[in-house]
Amino acid sequence: MFELHGRVALVTGAGQNVGAGIARMLAGQGAAVAVNDLRVERAEAVVEEIRAVGGTATAVGFDVTDYEAVVAGVAAAEAALGPVDILVNNAGNGGEHGMQPTQFKDSDPASWRGAIDVNLYGVMHCSRAVINGMVDRGWGRVITIASGAGTIGLNIGVAPYGGGKGGAIGFMRHFAIENARAGVTANSLAIGLMTNPSQTVTAALAKSIPVGRTGVPDDVAAACVYLASAEAAWVTGQTIEINGGAVTT
Ligand SMILES: NC(=O)c1ccc[n+]([C@@H]2O[C@H](COP(=O)([O-])OP(=O)(O)OC[C@H]3O[C@@H](n4cnc5c(N)ncnc54)[C@H](O)[C@@H]3O)[C@@H](O)[C@H]2O)c1
């Protein structure tokens, strides 16, 4: 079950943390993985890890906010590995640049664009670049790593990020409907607070999560393996909350 041999996956923002974990686990299930990151040296390091344990991977450096670069990056991935069957839209403001320091009422409009560009346009650009090939071949999987910030109200400074993530969730629902008859599924994972070296998480905050800990990349990667599999063919247009029980909608 959940076997991915013969499939080609593209994981964006996969040079570290959650995306790297997803790339490693998809490769472990047999997929050939195109590892994308804005910082190509990070992607190359993940490719080396995958190859070291016998997996197949290639690094593709591009910025998901630049549509022309996305199209060229997908072409490079496909030249190296073959047509993309599985897209995981993971690139996003998960780290230190994701949140604003002020309430929205005091924010500078110029500071909102980054969150929308990467978390919403990045998802749309990559989805647009792969969907026609998936439809032509009659099989595809698109998975977007969203956030609980896109499904509920959270803290001060999260509004632009939540707008980007919530927008991506809405986009995915419609994208799923449009392509359902073509054998392409599209789902979002609204993930909760992760253990992330670039974020300071207090012990009290971690304990407020019902299971008592923050998430690790494998918590998210396992859901990606399931959604990418043949067995998940009847799951589409969904937003699955993966958060240790912290958010239930
Ligand atoms: N960390 C959390 O607590 C948390 C919580 C909820 C949702 N998320 C979401 O999960 C995903 C992964 O989070 P993370 O903590 O691993 O993030 P991270 O910041 O640790 O890593 C993201 C990677 O994406 C790359 N990247 C950034 N912008 C890019 C772009 N425009 N094009 C290509 N690559 C780009 C970065 O170089 C980095 O290597 C993100 O979408 C994030 O919003 C994270």
- Take residue 144 and report the two structure tokens written for it: 């977007």
Residue-level pLDDT at 111: 86
Determine whether 118 is exposed, middle or buried from the number of CB atoms within 10 Å of its CB (0-12, 13-18, 19+).
Answer: buried
Helix (H) or strand (E) holding 113: helix 113-116
* Residue 248 covered by a domain: no
Tokens 């240790």 — which residue? 244
- Helices 17-28 and 217-228 cross at an angle (nearest 10°) of 50
Q: Report the atom number in ligand 1 closest to the C-alpha of 215.
A: 3
Count up the domains in the chain and report the number: 1
Identity of the amino acid at 156: I
Phi-psi region of 237 (alpha: psi -120 to 50; beta: other; left: phi over 0): left
* 19 pocket-lining for ligand 1 (C-beta < 6 Å): yes
Residue position matching structure tokens 């032509």:
136
Residues in the chain, how many? 249
Tell me the C-alpha to C-alpha distance, in Å, between residue 160 and each of 93, 166, 189, 205.
Answer: 11, 10, 19, 22
In a domain, 3, yes or no: no
* 114 CB within 6 A, ligand 1: no
Distance from residue 17's CA to the centre of ligand 1 (Å): 8
- Long-range pairs of 167-171 with CB within 8 A, sequence gap ≥ 24: 167/116, 167/119, 167/120, 168/89, 168/119, 168/120, 168/123, 168/144, 169/144, 169/239, 171/120, 171/123, 171/124, 171/127
Q: Is residue 247 part of a domain?
A: no
Domain membership of residue 75 (yes or no) is yes
Ligand 1, atom 7: closest residue by C-alpha: 147
DSSP letters, 41-98, are HHHHHHHHHHHHTT--EEEE---TT-HHHHHHHHHHHHHHH-S--EEEE--S--STTS
User: Which pair of structure tokens corresponds to residue 153?
Assistant: 């109200």
pLDDT tens for the 249 residues of the chain, in order? 999 999 999 999 999 999 999 999 999 999 999 999 999 999 999 999 999 999 999 999 999 999 999 999 999 999 999 999 999 999 998 544 567 778 999 988 888 899 999 999 999 999 999 999 999 999 999 999 999 999 999 888 899 999 999 999 999 999 999 999 999 999 999 999 998 776 677 777 888 899 999 999 999 999 999 999 999 999 999 999 999 999 766
Q: What CATH number is associated with residue 195?
A: 3.40.50.720
In a domain, 127, yes or no: yes
What Rg value do the Cα atoms of the chain yield, rounded?
Answer: 17
Ligand 1 proximity of 97 Cβ (cutoff 6 Å) = no
Residue-level pLDDT at 125:
99
Is residue 213 in some structural domain? Answer: yes
Residue 144 lies in a domain: yes
Residue 188 Cβ inside 6 Å of ligand 1? The answer reads no
In a domain, 119, yes or no: yes
Structural domain range at position 16: 8-242
pLDDT confidence of residue 31: 99
